Amino acid sequence: MKNLFKLPEGPGLQENQSYYRSLNRKMVTLMIVVSLLPLIVVSGVVGYQFQASYQEKVYVHLEELVQKHTQNIDNFLHEKLNDIRVVANSYSFEELTNETFFQHLLTILQKEHGGVFVDMGIVHQSGRQAAYTGVFKLEGADYSNADWFKQAMKTQYYISDVFLGLRGFPHFIVAVKRVWQGEPYIVRATIDFVAFNSLVEHIQIGRTGSAFIMNRQGKFQTRPKTSIKINNETFADQINKMFAETKSGGSQAELPALPGNDTPPQSLRPRPAIQSEVTISEIVDEENHSQIVVMTPLKDGEWILVFLQEKADAFSQFYRTRNVAVILLLLGAIGIVITSFAVSRLLVSRIARSDAEKKVMNQQIIETGKLASLGELAAGIAHEINNPVAIMVEEAGWIGDLLEEDNFKDRENYLECQRALKQIQTQGGRCKQITHKLLSFARKTDPSAAEVNLNDLIREVVSLSEQRAKYANVQMETHLSLEIPPVRLSPSEMQQVLLNLINNAIDAMGKGGGRLGVADWMEDGYLVIEVSDTGPGIPEANLPRIFDPFFTTKPVGEGTGLGLSICYGIIKKMNGEFRVRSAIGQGTTFQVWVPVAGQKPRPGEKDETERQKDIQV
């Protein structure tokens, strides 16, 4: 029918709502912080550790790879150099300048190395080519101004940078110095750029990883597979630094120029990979991609093998794992947030409800306390009044006694005096009745049930209200059924309910007065008590709220809005119910339905909808 403990509406409501809102906020914040903070901290730490170890793994892997390839390239170069050394040292000048023999040698070398050697030549210290074999017509070519020639003349062995040269085709030269007939000659061979390039090109890791070789001047010695978009000073600095740290061709310069010495120079022996020679760094290219740069010196520090890979590519697996973890973390966080909101909303609504219940209860306690103190006051007054009334009655009785004496009996006004005394006695008795009713009613509301004759109880309450009704111009009518069995209920509580209904009815009719009917009867195992008035009726909008605590239509200070609410609680406790019928301008009828003691209430008999129908306007 209604919720007795609805959040009370009133001036405090706004404050309450903002209080509960802030409580809600605090709880949500606390719950989110407490649950998310450790999650974030743990994820952060674990993520950082994982990233660090993954990076280390990737770097070690790249380093090993680059070292391996560096060794391969170095070996390739040394192998070719050794071949030329063998050629230079094994044959005499005459043999080598023999065109057919020289060509035969080239053919053998080409066969052995799959066309790596393009051509071979012997160059006199003046720069003139003394012998040549190969596809180009370079017999008698003059190399006196060629860089490689100048360099080669300075050392015993030489491998040049890649250059275009006379043939206009990228290539590089492997040269060995040899002294024949007291004159130094250079035996040189051209290495095919394509073959060498493919050696480097094969170094490919992932989607973007590629390698190339640069010389000291920053010229590419191999073709970078992808166009290098790094125009970055840091990169250049790094390369310069790399060169600065590696001594350039020093080992070659220090070699003793011993003709016919078969011992290869130290630097040309296969070397163990030296870990520290590899440097790994990160730079940002022009397209704002982070690139991992792995560099290691080659060819005794004259070249640098550079390996580039986009960081996103190198770490793709890590990023995938990280993204999955982040998505899971986010989902978890969203779950936590939603749960926090839901839980705190639930808790706050429970708190609000229990607060409202507490408030109603407090009001009830105050009301009961007021009634109790009123009761004590009434009891005191009753006692104080009874004593003087008793004296008055006794004195009147004494006068009566004296009048009985013979000498008064004949007097003219004897009868009139006796009537007056009788009246005093009667009115004294009335005073006593009034004070006794007051005492019995004012006694503390006692919830203990007792067998009650309901008709007597109604009569008592009605007689208490009669005086008030008279002044309010209200005519009271009672229609009490003779079939009412004794009922087991708390008489003082029932008195309170009835008095409240009657007082409300009298108040409702206002100064104009009207008729107030009190009736009772038995129906379907229920005891029905009806209080009806001919007042203005209750507006439809107010009907569903009349039992709400603090709902009142009386002016401020006159009604607490608790009367009907308390009555509702009392009747509910008796397993009973209220039914209200009201018509504007015609009046209102309140019915209290209480199951008769010993009989179970039959709530099925009249369900909610039917009860609602009873509330008609």
Partner 1 sequence: MSAASVLLVDDERDFVSAMTKRLTKRDLEVSNAFDGLEALEALSKDDRIEVVILDVKMPGMSGVETLREIKRRYPLVEVIMLTGYATIETAIEGMKLGAYDYLIKPCEMDELLGKVGEALEKRRKHQNKILEARTREVIQRRET
Interface ranges with partner 1 (CB under 8 A): 379, 382-387, 389-395, 397-398, 401, 425, 428-429, 431-432, 436, 439
Closest CB 16 distance from partner 1, rounded Å: 43
- Please state, in angstroms and rounded to a whole number, the distance separating the CA atoms of residues 118 and 560: 114
Nearest of 430, 441, 446, 434 to residue 376 by alpha carbon? 441
- Taking the least distance from each CB to partner 1, the nearer of 329 and 399 is 399
Task: Look at the block and give the residue holding tokens 């004494």.
Answer: 398
Cβ 300 vs Cβ 267: under 8 Å: yes
Helices (H), 447-555: 454-471, 491-509
- Taking the least distance from each CB to partner 1, the nearer of 417 and 431 is 431
Residues facing 187 on adjacent strands: 122, 176
Q: How far is CA 66 from CA 204, 230, 291, 299, 465, in A?
A: 10, 20, 16, 14, 109
Task: Look at the block and give the residue holding tokens 């005191």.
Answer: 380
Task: Look at the block and give the residue holding tokens 């005492």.
Answer: 439
- Taking the least distance from each CB to partner 1, the nearer of 365 and 391 is 391
- Please state, in angstroms and rounded to a whole number, the distance separating the CA atoms of residues 279 and 215: 17
- Taking the least distance from each CB to partner 1, the nearer of 393 and 596 is 393
Closest CB 517 distance from partner 1, rounded Å: 33
- Taking the least distance from each CB to partner 1, the nearer of 385 and 449 is 385
Burial category of 597 from C-beta neighbours within 10 Å (exposed 0-12, middle 13-18, buried 19 and up): middle
C-beta atoms surrounding 97 within 10 Å = 16
Closest CB 568 distance from partner 1, rounded Å: 29
- Taking the least distance from each CB to partner 1, the nearer of 386 and 552 is 386
Closest CB 408 distance from partner 1, rounded Å: 14
Closest CB 440 distance from partner 1, rounded Å: 9
Closest CB 393 distance from partner 1, rounded Å: 4
- Taking the least distance from each CB to partner 1, the nearer of 446 and 524 is 446
- Please state, in angstroms and rounded to a whole number, the distance separating the CA atoms of residues 596 and 486: 9
- Taking the least distance from each CB to partner 1, the nearer of 100 and 387 is 387
- Please state, in angstroms and rounded to a whole number, the distance separating the CA atoms of residues 616 and 602: 23
Nearest of 95, 57, 132 to residue 321 by alpha carbon? 57
Closest CB 379 distance from partner 1, rounded Å: 7
Tokens for 601, please give them.
Answer: 């209430």
Closest CB 389 distance from partner 1, rounded Å: 5
**Strands (DSSP E) found in 79-231:** 117-124, 129-133, 157-159, 171-180, 183-192, 210-215
- Taking the least distance from each CB to partner 1, the nearer of 44 and 388 is 388
Closest CB 374 distance from partner 1, rounded Å: 16
**DSSP state at residue 524:** T
